[in-house]
Chains A and B, each alone.
Chain A
Amino acid sequence: MEKNTFWRIALVLTLVAVFALPATPFAMEKPNGFPNRPMTMIVPYGAGGGSDQLARAMATALEKVVGVPVKVVNKPGGSGVAGLSDFFMARPDGYTITEHIDDAATLYASGVIKENPSEDWYPACIAQIAFSQIYVRPDDKRFPDWDAFVKYAKENPGKIKLANVANVGSMERVVTSLLEDDQGIKLTQVSFDKPAERYGALVGGHVDALFEQPGDVRPYMESNDMKPILTILNERPKAFSDVVCLNDIGAKFKPLFRFRGFFIRKDVPKDRQKYLEWALKTAWNSDEFQKFNRKKYMHLINSYRDIEGGKVLVEETVETYRKMGVKK
């Protein structure tokens, strides 16, 4: 009897915890009234791109949680470096946060920046974690699927031109070289810094394949201008159940992800860090933000991390890049 009650209470508590945790936005108290004036969200990339879209969606949701305006400021340039100088120069009072992506890990691993993105500044929230795919034109007779692609690449080494953002040490370049080594093929990577040019190059027939995340090229898949032939994940996600994944092709490397999040500095007071972590999580969970993220295919894998989880993600990424010999 005694035991039974114990289990019953335990069950109730677990159920409450399970249902309450993700959903309840029971308002956390503002630490000493923080924030009581408008906040600044730096976006180190240009208006209109993936980072900008995410930041604006998050800012709108965040404003409702914190009750003060969140001003988005684009400071593009140098693979996300230019905006950082202002981020590090601002007062560490928690009023200035910056959006950043896995480039932060690249920049640190390659020595372009000195500030460690998992120690000196770190994500208060990772809001998007995206897997990549390889796309080709649906009317390209040479390679209708991945097997044909590999066969063609083996017969014509270096002949296949793959469009991506191949900055030295970028996620794209690292994954492509892992894939090349694993499959014993040789591709020629063509780096396109502007997404519009990258997509235009594949659709217009100037390159043969494209390395991209599905959320960014969704319209081109729907209009049948592009189709995925490989998902760079260990398992096939539901939305792409007819596309082969890493396990299917026997690849033995761990997939790397494109992630985007919101970073704070370590010298921001701890109570404010906790508050920001909570506020960003609540905003992330809001219906309107979830609607946005769903459109970007962010529901296929868990794409949220808190401070601790975010630090681990960044750390692991830096480590992988270091191992790959990413140097300046």
Chain B
Amino acid sequence: MENLWIGIVSLFGDPIALLLFFAALVAGLLFAALPGINMVTLGAIILPFTIYLEPSQAIMIYGVIYVAGTYGGAVMAILFNIPGSAENAPTALDGYPLTQQGKAGLAIGAAIVSSSLGGILATILMMIAAPKIGRWAIHAFGPPEMFALIFFGLNVAASVGAETFWKGWLSVMLGLLLACIGTDPAGGLTRFSFGTYYLLAGIHFIPLILGFFAISEVFVQGEKMVTLKYKAPKVGLTFPSFRDFWNMKICIIRSWILGFCAGVLPGIGATLAAFLSYNEAKRWSKHPERFGKGELEGVVASETANNAATGGAMIPLLALGLPGGAITAMMISVFMIHGMEPGPLIMVRAHALVWELFVAMFLANLFIFFLGYLETRTVVNLLKIPFRLLCPIILLLSTIGSYALRNSLFDVWVMILAGIAGYFLRRSGYSVAGIILGVILGKIGESAFVKAIIIIDYSWLGFFDRPVCAVLLVGGLVTLGWNVYSSFRKRSTP
């Protein structure tokens, strides 16, 4: 409680800090709302300027951007099928269909409330138990557990957004294949690089997301324009009621737990959190067939989880100095720029700074609730822009977003090719979300596997000597078996 007070005083006692807080909040929301140009871009742009700030202010800004950006990505995912980053991809699966049904307000309202709620609960838990959870996580989760979790996650990937079980798995396999391109994580040997330096770095998932979702959507809508079937979506401003949320309380709690836990694990983070809880929402739902066609619960599940993960991700960073993603890695740089060594002692040595960050993240989540409400009233009107004007804007922004990733034109070509491929894949019932998750999980999963198999001395049974690992692997196998069984049963009784 005393700590909390320190945090509040240092944030509110400093007018500049307060000003920066709001600037970061608005900038995070805006940057996340532009496709491809997300909070990571914003973070990279402001990094050199943080040297002129107090360390506590600089770190606080990143925490706020992280929170605001994770929510902000949902808006474009819902309105235009352009997820700002990978963790908003499952939001688009149901959010965009809702928009097309004229229920954009409903979807965005749900995203706001669930993001805010997920984030607030996560920051509270972070304040209570950060050091303990951090220690526990790195002891309990080594490379074998990481691999087992990814294996479990792949099953999830296969059941998200595809027409049939088999098409889902084919989509994931394609993603895994794409993940093989580049430098292998075991010995640094090159695979499928065809002698170009560009392919050595592998295919990044950001241009894939922009291509598969945004570009292919431009094609789909363009086709409708040409065939005169295009209908502009109605602008819906109905907000979800308290009752809507009360009915989804179990889903919210489940997604929050999944999100927080996934966030704590370095390297797993918000993306898997969002996909996992989307899938669990679908699995436990009474109407799983509604998912992917505009089920509000899908939006709620993924947005609760990805914002809960932001709180989780701070734990390994602050308790142990271990960053889990791009934004947390930049926070390490900020510490360094100011001559502080992030590590296990940061919570002791920079006590006030850490608590100011906690308070700022808590407030940022709270403000999303109010700002988001205002934002929705205005941002939904973007849907009124005629498609013939919107289409080039989307193409332009996606191109910038792909280029900005590594400042390389190669990624723009990847995006265009993914757009064309995505158009055909989506038409034939394959899941572009599955492919993207395959790419992301394929890279982390292979890297975890090669370490794990060395650690357990190349004995496959070694995976089952570790309890957490065994539970996850068995869970994955059971899910897989069940899905195969039910897809055969469906086929035999048409």
Q: Which of B29-37, B295-303, B392-400, B450-458 contacts A (4 or more CB under 8 A)?
A: B450-458
With the chains together, A225 CA to B341 CA distance in Å? 14
With the chains together, A205 CA to B201 CA distance in Å? 31
CB distance from B444 to the nearest CB of A (A): 10
Question: A48 contacts which of B139, B198, B200, B323 (Cβ < 8 Å)?
Answer: B323
**Cβ A203 vs Cβ B201 within 8 A:** no
Q: Which residues of B contact A75 (CB under 8 A)?
A: 406-408
A248 interface residue per 8 A CB criterion: no
**Cβ B450 vs Cβ A191 within 8 A:** yes
Please count how many residues in chain A sit with their CB below 8 Å of the partner chain's CB atoms: 56
Q: Which residues of A contact B51 (CB under 8 A)?
A: 60
Q: Binary interface profile of B, 183-209, with partner A (CB < 8 Å = 1, else 0)?
A: 101111110000011101110000000
CB distance from A294 to the nearest CB of B (A): 10
**Cβ B343 vs Cβ A166 within 8 A:** no
Q: Which residues of A contact B345 (CB under 8 A)?
A: 219, 222-223
CB distance from A263 to the nearest CB of B (A): 15
Closest-by-CB residue of B relative to A44 is: B201
With the chains together, A74 CA to B43 CA distance in Å? 13
- Considering the complex, which residues of chain B in the window 309-343 have a beta carbon less than 8 Å from any beta carbon of chain A? 316, 320-324, 326, 329-330, 332-333, 336-337, 339, 341-343
CB distance from A169 to the nearest CB of B (A): 8
Please count how many residues in chain B sit with their CB below 8 Å of the partner chain's CB atoms: 53
Closest-by-CB residue of A relative to B198 is: A85
With the chains together, A48 CA to B331 CA distance in Å? 8
CB distance from B402 to the nearest CB of A (A): 14
A14 interface residue per 8 A CB criterion: no
Q: Which of A127-135, A192-200, A229-237, A270-278 contacts B (4 or more CB under 8 A)?
A: A192-200
- A188 with B337: in contact, given A196-B322, A201-B142, A219-B345 (CB under 8 Å)? no
Q: Which residues of A contact B323 (CB under 8 A)?
A: 48, 196
B44 interface residue per 8 A CB criterion: yes
CB distance from A118 to the nearest CB of B (A): 20
B138 interface residue per 8 A CB criterion: yes
CB distance from A41 to the nearest CB of B (A): 11
A177 interface residue per 8 A CB criterion: no
CB distance from A138 to the nearest CB of B (A): 12
**Cβ B185 vs Cβ A191 within 8 A:** yes
Closest-by-CB residue of B relative to A40 is: B407
**Cβ A46 vs Cβ B329 within 8 A:** yes
Q: Which residues of A contact B196 (CB under 8 A)?
A: 85
Q: Binary interface profile of B, 161-187, with partner A (CB < 8 Å = 1, else 0)?
A: 000000000000000000000110111
CB distance from B134 to the nearest CB of A (A): 10
Q: Which residues of B contact A112 (CB under 8 A)?
A: 190, 200
Question: A207 contacts which of B47, B324, B332, B455 (Cβ < 8 Å)?
Answer: B455
Closest-by-CB residue of A relative to B143 is: A206
- Considering the complex, which residues of chain A in the window 160-194 have a beta carbon less than 8 Å from any beta carbon of chain B? 161, 166-170, 188-194
Among A52, A112, A219, the most chain B Cβ lie within 10 Å of the Cβ of: A219
**Cβ B330 vs Cβ A85 within 8 A:** no
With the chains together, A191 CA to B454 CA distance in Å? 10
**Cβ A219 vs Cβ B187 within 8 A:** no
B240 interface residue per 8 A CB criterion: no
**Cβ A53 vs Cβ B344 within 8 A:** no
**Cβ B267 vs Cβ A194 within 8 A:** yes
Question: A47 contacts which of B138, B320, B321, B326 (Cβ < 8 Å)?
Answer: B326
CB distance from B180 to the nearest CB of A (A): 14
Question: B48 contacts which of A49, A72, A170 (Cβ < 8 Å)?
Answer: A72
**Cβ A77 vs Cβ B321 within 8 A:** no
**Cβ B183 vs Cβ A168 within 8 A:** no
- A193 with B185: in contact, given A77-B406, A82-B198, A200-B266 (CB under 8 Å)? yes
- A201 with B200: in contact, given A219-B341, A219-B342, A222-B345 (CB under 8 Å)? no
With the chains together, A205 CA to B140 CA distance in Å? 9
**Cβ A84 vs Cβ B197 within 8 A:** yes
Q: Which residues of A contact B47 (CB under 8 A)?
A: 47, 56
**Cβ A82 vs Cβ B200 within 8 A:** yes
Among B186, B320, B324, the most chain A Cβ lie within 10 Å of the Cβ of: B320
A73 interface residue per 8 A CB criterion: yes
CB distance from A302 to the nearest CB of B (A): 23
With the chains together, A295 CA to B447 CA distance in Å? 31
**Cβ A82 vs Cβ B266 within 8 A:** no
A240 interface residue per 8 A CB criterion: no
CB distance from A13 to the nearest CB of B (A): 39
Closest-by-CB residue of A relative to B202 is: A77
CB distance from B47 to the nearest CB of A (A): 7
With the chains together, A161 CA to B458 CA distance in Å? 13
Q: Which residues of B contact A72 (CB under 8 A)?
A: 48
Q: Which residues of B contact A205 (CB under 8 A)?
A: 139, 142
**Cβ A77 vs Cβ B200 within 8 A:** yes
**Cβ A78 vs Cβ B182 within 8 A:** yes
**Cβ A204 vs Cβ B344 within 8 A:** no
With the chains together, A37 CA to B141 CA distance in Å? 49
A266 interface residue per 8 A CB criterion: no
Q: Binary interface profile of A, 3-28, with partner B (CB < 8 Å = 1, else 0)?
A: 00000000000000000000000000
Q: List 30 A-B contacts (CB under 8 A).
A: A47-B333, A48-B329, A48-B332, A48-B333, A52-B333, A76-B201, A77-B183, A77-B201, A78-B190, A78-B201, A81-B183, A82-B200, A85-B196, A86-B407, A113-B197, A168-B188, A193-B447, A196-B267, A196-B322, A197-B143, A197-B266, A199-B320, A200-B138, A204-B139, A204-B141, A204-B142, A218-B343, A220-B321, A220-B343, A222-B345
A-B pairs, top 7 by smallest CB distance, nearest first, are A77-B201, A219-B343, A167-B188, A206-B142, A78-B200, A48-B329, A204-B138
Apart from A78-B182, A219-B345, 19 more pairs, CB < 8 Å: A46-B329, A47-B333, A48-B332, A48-B333, A49-B329, A60-B51, A73-B407, A81-B200, A85-B197, A112-B190, A167-B187, A190-B454, A191-B186, A199-B320, A199-B322, A203-B344, A206-B455, A222-B341, A223-B345
- Residues of B whose CB lies within 8 Å of any CB of A are 44, 47-48, 51, 138-139, 141-143, 182-183, 185-190, 196-198, 200-202, 266-267, 316, 320-324, 326, 329-330, 332-333, 336-337, 339, 341-346, 406-408, 447, 450-451, 454-455
